[in-house]
Amino acid sequence: MGKQEKTAISPTRAEDYSEWYQQVVKHSDLAERSPVRGCMVIKPWGYAIWENIMRDMDAMFKETGVKNAYFPLFIPLSFLEKEAEHVEGFAKECAVVTHHRLEKGPDGGLIPAGPLSEPLVVRPTSETIIGESFSRWVKSYRDLPILINQWANVVRWEMRTRIFLRTSEFLWQEGHTAHATEAEAMERTHVMLDVYARFVEQVLAIPVIRGKKTPSERFPGAVDTLCIEAMMQDRKALQAGTSHFLGQNFARASDIRFQNADEIEDFAWTTSWGSSTRLIGGLIMTHSDDDGLILPPRVASAHVVLLPIFRKEDEKAPVMDHCRKLAKEMRGIDYHGRRLVVEVDERDIGGARGWDWIRKGIPVRVEIGPRDIAADAVFVGRRDRGHREKTAMPRQEFISQITAVLDDIQQGLYDRALAFREAHTRSIDLRKDFDAYFTPKNAGRPEIHGGFALSHWCGDEGCEARIKEALNVTIRCIPLAENTAPDDGACVCCGSPSPRRVVFAKAY
Amino acid sequence: MGKQEKTAISPTRAEDYSEWYQQVVKHSDLAERSPVRGCMVIKPWGYAIWENIMRDMDAMFKETGVKNAYFPLFIPLSFLEKEAEHVEGFAKECAVVTHHRLEKGPDGGLIPAGPLSEPLVVRPTSETIIGESFSRWVKSYRDLPILINQWANVVRWEMRTRIFLRTSEFLWQEGHTAHATEAEAMERTHVMLDVYARFVEQVLAIPVIRGKKTPSERFPGAVDTLCIEAMMQDRKALQAGTSHFLGQNFARASDIRFQNADEIEDFAWTTSWGSSTRLIGGLIMTHSDDDGLILPPRVASAHVVLLPIFRKEDEKAPVMDHCRKLAKEMRGIDYHGRRLVVEVDERDIGGARGWDWIRKGIPVRVEIGPRDIAADAVFVGRRDRGHREKTAMPRQEFISQITAVLDDIQQGLYDRALAFREAHTRSIDLRKDFDAYFTPKNAGRPEIHGGFALSHWCGDEGCEARIKEALNVTIRCIPLAENTAPDDGACVCCGSPSPRRVVFAKAY
């Protein structure tokens, strides 16, 4: 191994993946921990990614007929209790509002006052409160389907938090639909999974596996949970979106009834589906390298930074002026439905600027000095290539090629992530190979294990639990049938017959 | 007076303004009360207005250099206590989180458990939590200014709530900026007031008066509060946006310090500014009539509805087909930066459809039947005109004219609102005229009073309080100097010298 080059992020992924992640977040200025336990502050560079996610995903929802609405932040405790599995699933992590004002306490400080007659839970998810509205909105089959989404904050009081991946408060969207028939609700569950898969692959450049959760991994109260699963660079799986078929469970709990065309009363069939700021965590862990964040252009906070270069004071004004003009011209260019975002870094801090933007993951860096201006050229670096690999280009060619360059970066990131997943996915039939695959080779680097195993599972929850107990490996999903040929075999745990392989992995 | 025509909303504005408002909200399907005390459900037709407000206002913020971010929902009690006036202003309406999980109580039901060591307040506004971040972000004058906005939900526990106008939870944006100099912070306070004024006038078609609040009406903790005030159809004032100059009060409380260019340490100068879903309440009360909601086109949930008309079953398919094609063609048209939103109402409920859309306030209704198709014409009704006043137009002309028609409706609504305000604004010098102006003429209709009075005020808080006590009339604002010529006079309350007139009114 040759001389190790110094990286912009320390430790590297290989040295300490978990700490590398925290350092990438910090040095890219995406977000930070707040003084409020488990809650994060999403800084402008990070929030811009969320704005891009919201805009593009929202457009895809609307294409399928979904409309946005907004429901209360607070859920009366009695509502949450209506669905037994549901409340059981969330009771341990609920922020509870018990008072509605503050007053002076005996020692002069403020204390909670005005106790509420019924405690309110800060929504961990909104099936029960939205169900109550649906029960009033639906009377006849003519009122169905209802296709609603809300962009909101939710709170799940987590004991161990990790920025973007697991925080007590996070931002998300939650879709809720109600239908007259089981088939239609099931179709909607699949339609929304397909939206998530297309969005995550096309916009975030993260390849995903579409599948169904086993009963033990289902959303509390759901009949079926569909999911998309992605592989991070530590070879662990990240669930990137879920779509739940709720059957009539929540309709019964919330009393969502309707008269069908034959005037027979029935409960509606409902679905819910969600994705969150966790996607940003997945984005970081899929693409970034030891120099920091790498942003796919379609979701990047900004696309291009112009770095004016000058040595003498009298060079400054013409170089700045040239850069501002170029930025203005480029900001008129359309890139996948939004205007190109072009930054001009006018800070007087020399070479440190370039590394700043590398760590922030901007797709394209452009250096422009007096000699470039004289030659009507620009000097271009791409974040998906080595930081020394820069190319001189005629200015006009650069402008006319920029969207193609961005698309090339986007596709390259996707291809690289897909190749990584394929290199670390293996069909495994024998339990001893399975154990070896998931056993870290080096005790100091627990993240270095095999990756995804495609192995047979008989369907028994006991086998699933024993593997989890032994290896901390779980079934991430049963891949959707349309993507997998029938493949009879024997359960990797007990040897019983199995109709198809499932995806086993360690997971976030 | 001739025969009274039946109106779509009952009661009418003249009969009972407050109940009329509730009925307009209900029949336009904008929003509804939720089972959670004081919280509302914003339904898709209402939320689409909020989406339009967010998109256009957000673009205006960004043009001034503001970036979006996101800060925690919860504020530790100790943070809120840092600024004495501030906590005093909000203590009576705080939702307080005291526990972080639920567990089975003695009678088997769930009860709050896991008490927090420090209670958390659900943000009523975020100066203190954002200030804490700013204190870490700012070290040198080079880190300033910081120009941040967040779109979020906030909670102020209100005892008497009214949908959109005063709810316990509402959606808003809150901007927070920090500057190196007092002059720059004051300039920003004015820049954001100007954004609000332009937005409300141009997009919501509501004329506003720009002014400054008296000390008694200031934001708790602010040095100065600027505001825009609009007149509703009951002649009361609605505050439609506020921009606060916070001086160094919150910087001191949150310890936001920086070194200036001379390496001298100073506290930053901060501002905050906000507007909320209350704007939708103002929109309703400014434009709507006794047939329901009237939406200005620039903020309308949809612009045009096509109503297919047919008598015989065999006419249905060609009429529907024609309408869908027309809708598709029109949806490609750009209207002030967004695509035209065109609905086709395919419901089989006859004439009730037209009234549905009138009550929902859609700007343009288009009826299309077999004879119109034969003549290649459409039959157009405008929501700003009488419901019987419809015009036949060649289809192609209608398409080419639609954005001009919408702009005409937008301008007409603004002009009408301005004329209404001018008709109900009067300069009043004598206390007896002032009293008569604000004294209802009819005990059964307390809303019928004068409107806005431009009267002299000496600057004494006692005079202000006495007028409020006597008439429930307050000083809505001191109009900004640039808009008002000096006009010496005598205080309408005590007769002492006064340098200029202020706006007195009853208020929401």
Contacts of A94 in chain B (CB under 8 A): 100-102
For the domain that residue A443 is a member of, what is the CATH number? 3.30.110.30
User: What range does the domain containing A308 cover?
Assistant: 302-412
H or E segment and range at residue A470: helix A461-471
Closest Cβ–Cβ partner in B43, B69, B75 for A42 = B69
On average, the pLDDT of chain B sits at: 94
Residue B239 sits at the vertex; the CA angle it makes with B238 and B242, to the nearest 5 degrees, is 170
d(CA B398, CA B484): 43
pLDDT in tens, B73-86: 999 999 998 888 88
Beta-carbon separation of B110 and A96 below 8 A: no
Measured between CA atoms, how close is B404 to chain A, in angstroms? Answer: 25
Instruction: Fill in the amino acid letter for A495.
Output: G
Does any domain span residue A276? yes
Least trusted range by pLDDT, from A373-387, B18-32, B442-456:
B442-456
* B388 in the same domain as B444: no
What is the maximum alpha-carbon separation in chain A? Answer: 85
Work out how many domains chain B is built from and give that number: 3
pLDDT for residue B305 is more than 70: yes
For the cut 50, the answer to whether the pLDDT of residue B302 exceeds it is: yes
Structural element, H or E, at residue A477:
strand A474-479
Establish if A62 belongs to a structural domain: yes
pLDDT digit string (tens) for B154-182? 999 988 899 999 999 999 999 999 999 99
Same domain as A189, residue A143 = yes
Compute the distance between CA of residue B493 and CA of residue A119 in angstroms, rounded to an integer: 48
The per-residue pLDDT for B484 is: 63
Q: Which residues of A touch B157 (CB under 8 A)?
A: 100-101, 114
Q: How far is A245 from chain B (nearest CA, A)?
A: 23
Of B77, B92, B133, the CB nearest to A101: B92
pLDDT score recorded for residue B212? 97
User: Are A141 and A220 within one domain?
Assistant: yes
The answer to whether residues B356 and B471 belong to one domain is no
Coil vs helix vs strand at A448: coil
Looking at residue B437, its amino acid is Y
Residue B392 sits in the same domain as residue B320? yes
| Of the partner residues A35, A71, A76, the one whose CB lies closest to the CB of residue B41 | A71
Determine how many CB atoms are found less than 10 A away from the CB of residue A348: 10
Tell me the chain B residues in contact with residue A41 when contact means C-beta distances shorter than 8 Å.
69-72, 133
3-class secondary structure, A365: strand
> Whole-angstrom Cα distance, residue B359 to residue B356?
5
Question: Is residue A296 situated within a structural domain?
Answer: no
Residue of B nearest to A156 (CA): B100
Which residue among B101, B109, B169 places its CB closest to the CB of A157?
Answer: B101
Residue numbers in B near A81 (CB within 8 A): 109-110
User: How far is the alpha carbon of A501 from chain B, nearest alpha carbon, in Å?
Assistant: 38
> In the prediction, which pLDDT does B133 show?
97
Q: How far is B422 from chain A (nearest CA, A)?
A: 36
Domain boundary among B287, B320, B351: B287
User: Does residue B230 belong to any structural domain of this protein?
Assistant: yes
Look at residue B10 and tell me if it is in a domain. Answer: no
Cβ-Cβ contacts under 8 Å, A112 against chain B: 96, 98, 119
Q: Contact, A464 vs A474, CB < 8 A?
A: yes
DSSP at B2: -
Q: Is A374 found in the same domain as A430?
A: no
> In the A/B pair of chains, how many CB contacts fall below 8 A?
181
DSSP string, A84-152: HHHHHHHGGG--EEEEEEEEE-TTSSEEEEEEEEEEEEEPS--HHHHHHHHHHH-SBGGG--EEEEEEE
| Partner-chain residue, chosen from A75, A98, A155, that has the shortest CB–CB distance to B98 | A98
| Rounded distance between C-alpha atoms, residue A407 and residue A491, angstroms | 43
Query: Which amino acid makes up residue A251?
Result: A
Residue A130 is predicted with a pLDDT of 97
All residues at 6 or more sequence positions from A311 whose CB lies less than 8 Å from its CB, including other chains: none
Query: In angstroms, how far is CA B318 from the centroid of its own chain?
Result: 43
pTM score, two decimals?
Answer: 0.96
CATH of the domain at A367: 3.40.50.800
Closest-CA residue in chain A for B159?
A: A100
Show which of A287, A317, A346 is a domain's final residue.
A287
Out of A40, A47, A110, name the one closest to residue B91 (CB). Answer: A110
By the 10 Å C-beta count (0-12 exposed, 13-18 middle, 19+ buried), B352 is classed as exposed
Residue B6 lies in a domain: no
Residue B137, pLDDT score: 97
Q: Which chain B residue's Cα is nearest to A349? A: B142
pLDDT at residue B374 is higher than 50 = yes
Question: How much is the pLDDT for A107?
Answer: 87
Q: What is the pLDDT of residues B409-447, one digit of tens each?
A: 999 999 999 999 999 999 999 999 999 999 887 655 655
Burial of A42 (0-12, 13-18, 19+ CB in 10 A): buried
B89, closest residue in chain A (CA to CA): A102
- Cα–Cα dist B202/B56, whole Å: 10
What would the two tokens of residue B426 be? 């009067």
From B99, B112, B133, residue closest to A41, measured CB to CB: B133
Q: Are A277 and A386 part of one and the same domain?
A: no
Q: Are residues A63 and A121 in the same domain?
A: yes
Residues B373 and B499 in one domain: no
Per-residue pLDDT at B1: 38
- Same-domain status, B109 and B141: yes
**Yes or no, beta carbons of A36 and B91 under 8 Å apart:** no
Q: Tokens 């204190």 label which residue?
A: B135
In a domain, A8, yes or no: no
Going by their DSSP bridges, the two strands B501-505 and B474-479 should be labelled as: antiparallel
A76 contacts in chain B (CB < 8 Å): 35-36
Question: Mean pLDDT across the stretch B302-316?
Answer: 94
Does any domain span residue A67?
A: yes
Q: Do B95 and A120 touch (CB under 8 A)?
A: yes
Residue A486 near residue A501, CB atoms below 8 Å: no
Task: Please tell me the distance in Å from A145's CA to the nearest CA on chain B.
Answer: 14
Same domain for B388 and B496?
Answer: no
* pLDDT tens digits in sequence order for chain A, 508 residues long: 345 578 999 999 999 999 999 999 999 999 999 999 899 999 999 999 999 999 999 999 999 999 999 999 999 999 998 888 888 889 999 999 999 999 999 988 899 999 999 999 999 999 999 999 999 999 999 999 999 999 999 999 988 899 999 999 999 999 999 999 999 999 999 999 999 999 999 999 999 999 999 999 999 999 999 999 999 999 999 999 999 999 999 999 999 999 998 999 999 999 999 999 999 999 999 999 999 999 999 999 999 999 999 989 999 999 999 999 999 999 999 999 999 999 999 987 777 899 999 999 999 999 999 999 999 999 999 999 999 999 999 999 999 999 999 999 999 999 999 999 999 999 999 999 999 999 887 655 655 678 999 999 999 999 999 999 999 999 999 999 765 667 889 999 999 999 989 999 999 9
- Mapped onto helix, strand or coil, the DSSP state of residue B400 is helix
Q: Which site among A52, A88, A101 would you substitute to test the B interface, given the most B Cβ atoms closer than 10 Å to its Cβ?
A: A101
Q: Amino acid identity of A416?
A: R
Q: End of a domain among B287, B312, B347?
A: B287
Q: Give B47's contacts in chain A (Cβ within 8 Å).
A: 67-70
Q: Is B32 helix (H, G, I), strand (E, B) or coil?
A: strand
User: Is A47–B67 a contact, with Cβ atoms under 8 angstroms apart?
Assistant: yes
A390 with A456, same domain: the answer is no
- Test the B interface: residue of A30, A33, A70, A343 with most B CBs within 10 Å: A70
The string of pLDDT tens digits covering residues B223-244 is 999 999 999 999 999 999 999 9
* Chain A interface mutation, best of B33, B36, B159, highest count of A Cβ atoms under 10 Å: B36
Which residues on B lie below 8 Å from A39 (Cβ)?
72-74
Mutate to test the interface with A, among B55, B73, B161, B345 (most CBs of A within 10 A): B73
Here the CATH number for the domain that contains residue A36 is: 3.30.930.10
